[in-house]
Amino acid sequence: MRIAQLAPLAESVPPKLYGGTERVISWLVNELIDLGHDVTLFASGDSSTKAKLHPVWPRALRLGRRGVDPNAACAMMIEAIAERARDFDVIHSHVDWLPLPVLSRTGVPFLTTMHGRLDLPGLSDVIGTFYRARFVSISDNQRRPLPDANWITTIPHGLPKDLFRPSYEPGSYLAFLGRLTAEKGPEAAIRIARAVRMPLRIAAKIPRSETAYFKKKLEPEIDGEKIQLVGEVDEVRKQPFLAGAAALLFPIDWPEPFGLVMIEAMACGTPVIAYRSGSVPEVVEDGVTGFIVESEEQAIEAVKEAARLDRRKVRARFDARFLASRMAREYESRYRELTFQA
């Protein structure tokens, strides 16, 4: 099949540092090509891909020139796919809502994978307007705010099998990986680590909008010894960071749509200790790949129990559930269904 993939322009595909959605798109594209499909990726010009790259903006917006209007870049994306829509059998958008008016009028089958939270005002009105548009969720929980959307399936994310090497040795510290925002729970992670008297290493992006939060709430707690900030990590540095941890702390306080870091940790054999929120019960198998907890007190006890989990079994469950090859085959089936129905 001739498949178009529309990627967000905030990061390159794959991203240089932080960027879960763009990383997943990169893996999906590569797997689809390995399955024999002709894939064109609409993305920033600094992307690197096995697909045919259609650069719609010179450089990823977050690491590019400041002051660029993201709406201008998105307009270029929409125009590019509008001009080339008939070149494809199916169009797969990862760009949320803005392309829907154009995609709905091309006559080419399309679907949209939603990667973010959906409990925001006004989204039900969009769903009502584009009631024929087909959507894919990345967890069943993600759908809950918009039950009337035309959901055709849930497809959990997947990683390439050989991306991370597992470690079966007990880790020596706790890990936190993600954005440094209150909803991701870095303050709770610090408190949990201090309570169990284990070092905490934080590999995280500090969004510009969260600078004040970081300086007020987190920076005073980071001593460079027990609590260390190692900054953003790329794929090369992420593997030893996660593999060397006794557990990944995931004390989220928001409806997490998926939580890619959880399966990245599992790929390294590292158990996950996560709050019961959003997608967590769909990703973590309690007592097998980690522990699902309701409070800091339970998280503290879970850290003490993490060493008894079999890290080989953690990796085995990752292999059984969260490979990129599985993800690509599931999308391939949806593409075929759409083209058959067209």
Which CATH number does the domain housing residue 251 bear?
3.40.50.2000
Evaluate whether residue 165 is within a structural domain.
no
Whether the per-residue pLDDT at 181 is higher than 70: the answer is yes
Whether the per-residue pLDDT at 54 is higher than 70: the answer is yes
d(CA 141, CA 255): 8
250, 312: one domain: yes
Evaluate whether residue 104 is within a structural domain.
yes
Evaluate whether residue 166 is within a structural domain.
no
81, 92: one domain: yes
Collapsing DSSP to helix, strand or coil, 332 comes out as helix
Into how many domains does the chain fold?
2
Residue 65: predicted pLDDT: 62
335, 295: one domain: no
d(CA 262, CA 58): 32
Residue 64: predicted pLDDT: 64
Collapsing DSSP to helix, strand or coil, 245 comes out as strand
Please indicate whether residue 205 or residue 175 has the higher confidence score (pLDDT).
175
Evaluate whether residue 36 is within a structural domain.
yes
Question: Dihedral of CA 154/157/160/162: which sign?
Answer: negative
Looking at every residue in the chain, the average pLDDT score rounds to 95
d(CA 27, CA 239): 17
Contact predicate 174/189, CB 8 Å: yes
Whether the per-residue pLDDT at 190 is higher than 70: the answer is yes
Q: What is the DSSP string of 73-131?
A: HHHHHHHHHHHHGGG-SEEEE-STTTTHHHHTTS-S-EEEE--S---STTHHHHHHHTT
202, 291: one domain: yes
| First-residue to last-residue Cα distance in the chain | 14
Evaluate whether residue 314 is within a structural domain.
yes
Range of the domain at 295: 173-321
39, 148: one domain: yes
6, 155: one domain: yes
Residue 342: predicted pLDDT: 65
Report residue 204's pLDDT band, with 50, 70 and 90 as the boundaries: confident
Confidence (pTM): 0.95
Evaluate whether residue 54 is within a structural domain.
yes
The stretch 314-328 carries a mean pLDDT of 98
